[in-house]
């Protein structure tokens, strides 16, 4: 029983769920979508909070530049480039039989410094926020200091006595572990069964304790949270509830405005920006979408992409049950090669924040993820991890009227640059076998 109703009753009143249970690709347009001015308040956060996160990252820039050589060229700013994908624009039109009036762009968070995924935004921000609070309280740092003082013995001693823990499918653990260890904190990462071996290896090489869980992401988080709560000197980075993660992701939007301006991309009501974001528990895409709505208002439309085997956000929003439902409740197995998206239950906080803000959610089959991955490699020379390409078919899911507008389509690529070359090669090979366009039915459901 879910909210007093049987699964049968849910399938009867919400027929889209039947396709989801059958693991068919679906597209859902949010009937509760509201103007940004009304819906932004749902998060309980505002522009001042995002600005504060951006200011914090700026304070840490000297320390970041000194600690992570790959941020030095940008003076310690962890940011990714924008890139137009002209060939993929054609490929999408042909593969899916759609017409896209506007150009296709990509945001390469796959190539973010420090940890090579979108988690280098949220995960890094939360660790820095925590470290800053500790250091300020202990008197080893003032906000006006050059934050490189955090590399000095007084701060190192302080951090050495403190612990950090996180539950993750891989990339969040990688980010939190890398930055936490660089500060000198003792970090424990609880990895779900989906986590790739190389991510665990990289962490152990840096002295991070990796705890492997046989169960999925939700269990890894729950167990990590339980252990951390028993330890007063431990901070738990809570991917299901954290505001600091969310705000770290949101900062991306402030910077994107300048990047789009520099690229000559116009965004206004007659030139809308469509943004396609892979969604796991929701913090990454939710935080970015929140920031985008703050910056661009109703001129931006945010679309979330999930695997057919792990559609937790779509399920939570469509039923209105948010985190009171898991994909397993409907017999969906949460088994997907898109390890970064292998999440069975959405964040309740993010679902609440996105309830009226997200335009649409869709699901994509694992085979199609690999096909897109191989096509992207072939046509644009970009190699990503499977989760990271989930947004790539998003433009094909729009209603024809929206696709015909002279807007811009921005696909958020979320990870891949740190994946070992042989693993990337095996992804591409699997994708090449899937490349033939099949007679596809994306099963669009329009309100």
Which residues sit at the interface with ligand PLP, rule CB under 6 A? 117-119, 171, 278-285, 340-341, 385, 387-388, 414-415
Cβ closer to ligand PLP: 171 or 308?
A: 171
In Å, the largest CA–CA distance within the chain is: 64
Contacts of 320 (CB under 8 A, 6+ apart): none
Q: Which is nearer to ligand PLP, 284 or 291 (CB)?
A: 284
Give the nearer residue to ligand PLP in terms of CB position, either 304 or 330: 304
Closest separation between CB of residue 113 and ligand PLP, Å? 15
Question: What's the Cα-to-Cα distance from 285 to each of 314, 326, 356, 388, rounded to whole Å?
Answer: 13, 19, 14, 12
Q: What is the CA radius of gyration of the chain?
A: 21
- The residue whose Cβ lies closest to ligand PLP is 280
Other Cβ atoms closer than 10 A to 334: 22
Minimum CB distance to ligand PLP smaller for 260 or for 384: 384
β-pair type (104-108, 82-84): antiparallel
Instruction: Give strand pairing partners of 212.
Output: 191
**Residue with Cβ nearer ligand PLP (184 or 340):** 340
**Shortest spacing between CB 191 and ligand PLP, in angstroms:** 13
Nearer to ligand PLP, 165 or 299 (CB): 165
Closer to ligand PLP by CB, 189 or 265: give it. 189
Q: How far is the CB of 439 from ligand PLP (least distance, A)?
A: 29
Would you say 31 and 447 are in contact if contact means Cβ atoms under 8 Å apart? yes
Q: Which residues pair with 167 in a beta bridge?
A: 190
**Which is nearer to ligand PLP, 280 or 352 (by Cβ)?**
280
Residue 374 token pair = 């191989």
Residues shown for the chain: 447
Q: Tokens standing for 421?
A: 């070359």
What is the closest distance, in whole angstroms, from the C-beta atom of residue 391 to ligand PLP in the complex?
Answer: 9
Query: Least distance from C-beta 283 to ligand PLP, angstroms?
Result: 4
DSSP string for 150-184? GGSHHHHHHHHT-EEEEEESSHHHHHHHHHHHHHT
- For residue 13, the minimal CB distance to ligand PLP (Å) is 27
Residue 260 CB partners (closer than 8 Å, separation 6+)? 82, 267, 273, 408
Smallest separation, CB 385 to ligand PLP (Å): 6
Angle of CA points 285, 290, 291, to nearest 5°: 100
Q: Which is nearer to ligand PLP, 256 or 403 (CB)?
A: 256
Residue 4 Cα distances to 18, 41, 120, 325, 419, angstroms: 19, 29, 40, 12, 44
The tokens of 202 are what? 């990289």
Distant-in-sequence, close-in-space partners of 81: CB < 8 Å, separation ≥ 6: 108, 111, 259
CB of 192 to ligand PLP, least distance (A): 11
Using CB atoms within 10 A of its CB, is residue 223 exposed (0-12), middle (13-18) or buried (19+)?
Answer: middle
- Minimal distance in Å, beta carbon 94 to ligand PLP? 26
Choice between 116 and 272, CB closer to ligand PLP = 116
At closest approach, how far in Å is the CB of 435 from ligand PLP? 22
């Amino acid at each position: 029983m879910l909210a007093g109703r049987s699964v049968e009753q849910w399938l009867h009143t919400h027929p889209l769920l039947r396709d989801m249970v059958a693991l068919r690709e679906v597209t859902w347009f949010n009937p509760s979508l509201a103007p940004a001015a009304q819906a932004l308040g749902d998060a309980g956060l505002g522009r001042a909070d995002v600005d504060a996160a951006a200011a914090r990252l700026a304070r840490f820039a000297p320390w970041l530049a000194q600690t992570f050589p790959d941020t030095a060229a940008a003076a310690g700013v962890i940011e990714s480039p924008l890139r137009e994908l002209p060939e993929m624009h054609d490929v999408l039109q042909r593969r899916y039989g759609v017409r896209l009036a506007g150009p296709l762009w990509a945001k390469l968070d796959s190539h973010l410094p420090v940890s090579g995924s979108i988690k280098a935004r949220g995960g890094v921000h939360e660790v820095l926020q925590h470290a800053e609070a500790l250091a300020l309280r202990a008197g080893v740092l003032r906000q006006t200091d050059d934050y490189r003082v955090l590399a000095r013995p007084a701060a190192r001693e302080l951090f050495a006595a403190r612990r950090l823990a996180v539950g993750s499918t891989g990339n969040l653990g990688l980010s939190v572990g890398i930055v936490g260890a660089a500060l000198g904190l003792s970090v424990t990462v609880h990895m779900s069964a989906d986590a790739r071996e190389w991510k665990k290896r990289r962490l152990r090489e840096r002295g991070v304790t990796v705890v492997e869980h046989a169960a999925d992401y939700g269990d890894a988080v729950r167990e990590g949270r339980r252990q951390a709560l028993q330890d007063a000197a431990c901070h738990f980075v809570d991917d299901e509830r954290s505001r600091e993660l969310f705000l770290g992701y949101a900062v991306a939007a402030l910077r994107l405005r300048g990047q789009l301006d520099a690229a000559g991309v116009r965004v206004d009501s007659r030139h809308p920006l469509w943004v396609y974001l892979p969604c796991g528990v929701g913090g990454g895409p939710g935080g970015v979408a929140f920031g985008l709505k703050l910056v661009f208002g109703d001129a931006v439309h945010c679309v979330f992409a999930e695997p057919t085997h792990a559609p937790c956000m779509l399920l939570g929003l469509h039923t209105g049950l948010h985190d009171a439902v898991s994909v397993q409740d409907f017999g969906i197995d949460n088994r997907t090669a898109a390890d970064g998206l292998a999440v069975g239950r959405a964040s309740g906080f993010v679902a609440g924040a996105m309830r009226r803000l997200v335009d649409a959610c869709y699901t994509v089959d694992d085979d199609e993820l690999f096909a897109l991955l191989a096509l992207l490699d072939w046509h644009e020379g970009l190699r990503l991890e499977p989760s990271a390409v989930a947004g790539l078919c998003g433009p094909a899911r729009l209603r024809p009227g929206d696709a015909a507008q002279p807007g811009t389509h921005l696909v958020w690529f979320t990870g891949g640059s740190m994946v070992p070359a042989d693993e990337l090669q095996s992804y591409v090979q699997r994708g090449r076998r899937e490349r033939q366009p099949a007679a596809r039915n994306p099963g669009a459901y329009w309100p």
